[in-house]
Amino acid sequence: MINGKPNKYLIVGSVMTGIVLLLALISVFWTPYAPTKMSASERFMHPTFTHIFGTDNFGRDIFSRVMKAIGTSFLISVFVVTVSGLAGVLIGAVTGYFGGIVDTVVMRVVDAVNGFPSILLALVMISLLGKGRWNIVIALGIAFTPSFVRIVRGEFIRLRDADYIVRARLMGVNSVRILFLHILPNVFSVFWVSVMIGFNNAILAESGLSYLGIGVQAPDATLGSMLSDAQGYLGTAPWYALAPGLTIVWMVLGAALMGEGISRRNAVR
């Protein structure tokens, strides 16, 4: 509730993301068809009641593939955001609060990592680590950490001289406690918004990498790889590309709206 009126952003965003999450969850146990089941006779079928999103060039049901793909993308993005978020908080809190030479050195390293476009960085790391979903998590996790560090560090710098923190120090509260129990709760609202944004970017980044073929490997579906496969058939079977494409839009929009809703709710107070 904002000012007594319902928070449209949060509601719509949550619903959208909720639907997606639900589909992903269900896909663990059940999909209308086995995502990898091919059927030569059913190739390139228009979307119908039996195949909601139609079939692809191998006769596989697109809807089932999309369901599984959502789950994969979601999972990877969640992990990426968790890894970079945690790293960001730890590094940002310590460097922001204590400052000094450690801060200077760490920030220069962070700046260096930040200088690379995340996809490029991921490419480099994949070439070192090899393809596959967990390597993507590591690669993107590292690529996303700098922005989290920046944001968290900024907040800690701002808050470390706040009256109530100064008093906490005067009372003898030890630094670790101050960092995580005194300051961190005040950083959450800002942090949460950047997590939402990070999540979105992770979905896009993962899709991008998979599109390029270095992400999740066939026959596993991911939204990016489906897009890549669908490219050649845009003229003849547009639904093949529309399905994953629109799904990506849906997921990103949902998370963006949630983030907006949360920040509006916090701003009011």
Partner 1 sequence: MIKIDNLTISYDGKRAVSELSLELVPGEITGLVGESGSGKSVTALTVMGLLSREAKIESGRVCFDDEVIFDAEKGKDEKLLRSYRGKMMSMVFQEPMTSLNPTMKVGPQVEEQLLIHAKEKYPDRASRKKSVVEAFESVGLHGAEELYDKYPHQLSGGMRQRVMIAMAVILHPQLIIADEPTTALDVTIQNQIVRLLKEINEREKNCMLFITHDLNLARRICTKVAVMKDGKIVESGATEDIFTSPQTDYARRLIAAVPGRKSEKAASSGADNDTGRKKESILKVEDLSVFYKERSKKGFGRSYKRRVVEGADFEIYEGETLGLVGESGCGKSSLCKAILGINKEISGKIINKTIRPQMIFQDPYSSLNPARTIGWQLEEPLYAMDVIEKDIKTSKEWRREQAVEMLKRVGLDESYYNRKPHQLSGGQRQRVSIAQALMTKPKLIFADEPVSALDVTIQDQVLDLLKSLQEEFGIAYLFISHDINVIYRVSDRIMVMKDGKILESGDKEEVFNHPREDYTRELLAES
Task: Determine, following the binding rule CB under 8 A, whether residue 186 of this chain makes contact with partner 1.
Answer: yes
Shorter beta-carbon distance to partner 1: residue 30 or 163: 163
Shorter beta-carbon distance to partner 1: residue 55 or 263: 263
Shorter beta-carbon distance to partner 1: residue 115 or 185: 185
Site for partner 1 in 163-182 (CB under 8 A): 163-174, 177, 182
SS3 of 202-261: the string is HHHHHHHHHHHCCCCCCCCCCHHHHHHHHHHHCCCCHHHHHHHHHHHHHHHHHHHHHHHH
Cβ–Cβ < 8 Å for 256, 16: no
Rounded to the nearest angstrom, the gap between the alpha carbon of residue 204 and the centroid of all alpha carbons in its chain is: 8
At its nearest, how many Å lie between partner 1 and the CB of residue 195? 17
Candidates 100, 115, 185, 235; binder of partner 1 (CB under 8 A) is 185
Q: Rounded to whole angstroms, how far apart are CA atoms 62 and 54? A: 6
Residue 49: helix, strand or coil by DSSP? coil
Shorter beta-carbon distance to partner 1: residue 128 or 170: 170
Site for partner 1 in 230-269 (CB under 8 A): 269
At its nearest, how many Å lie between partner 1 and the CB of residue 265? 14
Cβ–Cβ < 8 Å for 149, 87: yes
Cβ–Cβ < 8 Å for 224, 247: no
Take residue 127 and report the two structure tokens written for it: 């070439």
Task: Determine, following the binding rule CB under 8 A, whether residue 162 of this chain makes contact with partner 1.
Answer: yes
Task: Determine, following the binding rule CB under 8 A, whether residue 100 of this chain makes contact with partner 1.
Answer: no
At its nearest, how many Å lie between partner 1 and the CB of residue 173? 5
Shorter beta-carbon distance to partner 1: residue 128 or 171: 171
Binding residues for partner 1, rule CB under 8 A, total 19
At its nearest, how many Å lie between partner 1 and the CB of residue 189? 9
**DSSP line for 52-113:** TT-B-TTS-BHHHHHHHHHHHHHHHHHHHHHHHHHHHHHHHHHHHHH-HHHHHHHHHHHHHH
Shorter beta-carbon distance to partner 1: residue 70 or 165: 165
The tally of CA atoms less than 13 A away on the side-chain side of residue 27 is 24
Cβ–Cβ < 8 Å for 215, 206: yes
Q: Looking at 5-13, 23-31, 67-75, 184-192, which segment touches partner 1 (CB under 8 A)?
A: 184-192
Q: Can you give the binding site for partner 1, defined by CB under 8 A? A: 162-174, 177, 182, 185-186, 188, 269
